[in-house]
Structure 1
């Protein structure tokens, strides 16, 4: 069964609270959403990155941007 849907959508304000690596914003109708992930070597790196070090002590430094309570 196939459906053809024609839509006209006017968006006056779109407010997104937060964005993560796997965020999806859907406007309109869709039959399925397929994930897509792409990696690009824009820095021209030729070697693997160094292994991250685990911090053993937590520093009590304030954030650079004041956060609301």
Structure 2
């Protein structure tokens, strides 16, 4: 089933995108900061969410991991 039609899969994809963008911005900040607008600006925004809301994102990742391990 596609991640668009399964809510749990959609949340997993969004969390993975946030974590990946935040990690890549820590490695290559000049590339992410250069693309703040347009289509690639979405990745910059996801990186900002991952940086600023990191405790909430971490809790969401743990909750998602537990739900995937035990309720799927």
Q: Same fold (TM over 0.5)?
A: no
Higher helix share: 2
> If you compute each CA radius of gyration, which structure gives the higher value, 1 or 2?
1
Q: TM tier, shorter chain?
A: under 0.3
